[in-house]
Structure 1
Amino acid sequence: MLTITAIIRVRKGYEQTMCQALLEVADHVRANEPETLGFFISQDQTDPCLFTTYERFADQAAMDRHNNSEVVARFFGIAKPILDGEVTLVSCQEVSAKA
C-alpha cells in the first residue's frame, strides 16, 4: 500500500475555497478511482488555514493515475493562488494500518 500525506496551508480568508476544492477531489476519487483506497481530508481545529490529506493507493499505477488526473490538475489550479507556502508531500510505503 502506498500513501501520500499532503500538508497544505492557505492564506487567511481562503479556508472555505480550499475546503471546497479538496471536497471536489474527494468526490471524484469516490466515484472514479476504485484503486484509491482512502482519501481523507482534515482541517486543523486551532488553525483553520491548515489542511492535511492522507491518501492510500493500491499500487504505484493507482497513485500515478490519481496524481496525473484532471481533477488533481484542477485542484492545483485553484490552490496555487491561495497557498501560504509550498505544499508538503510525503510519499510512503504503508507499514501498518487499523481498518
Structure 2
Amino acid sequence: MITITAIIRVRQGYEQTMAQALLEVAEHVRANEPDTQGFFISQDEKDPRVFTTYERFTDRAAMDTHNNSAVVARFFGIAKPILDGDVILITANEISTKA
C-alpha cells in the first residue's frame, strides 16, 4: 500500500473554501477510484486553517491515476491562491494498518 500524507495551511478566512474543495475530491474518490483504499480529511482543532489528508492507494498506478485526475487539478487551482506556505507532502510505503 502506498500512502500520501499532505499538510495544508490556508490563509485566514479560507477555511471553508478549503474544506469544500477537499470534500469534492473525497466525493470523486468515493465514486470513481476503486483502487484508492482511503481518503481521509482532518482539520486541526486548535488551528482550523490547517488540514491534513491521508490517502491510501493499492499501488503506484492507483496513486498516479488519482494525482493526474481532473478533480485533483481543479483542487490545486482552488488551493494555490489561498495557501499559507507550501503544502507538505509525504509519500510512503505503509508498513502496518488496523482495518
Name the residue aligned to 2:43.
43
TM-score by length of 2: 1.00
1:18 equivalent in alignment to 2:31? no
Give the Cα–Cα distance (whole angstroms) in 2 for the partners of residues 73 and 86 of structure 1.
17
Structure 2: which 5+ runs fail to align? none
The count of aligned residue pairs is 99
Name the residue aligned to 2:74.
74
What is the Cα-based RMSD across aligned positions, in Å?
A: 0.2
Give the Cα–Cα distance (whole angstroms) in 2 for the partners of residues 64 and 42 of structure 1.
23
Which structure 1 residue ranges, 4+ long, deviate > 4 Å from structure 2? none
SS of 1:28's partner is helix
Letter in 2 for 1:68: N
Letter in 2 for 1:58: T
Letter in 2 for 1:45: E
**Aligned-residue offset at 1:6:** 0.2
Letter in 1 for 2:85: G
TM-score by length of 1: 1.00
Letter in 1 for 2:70: E
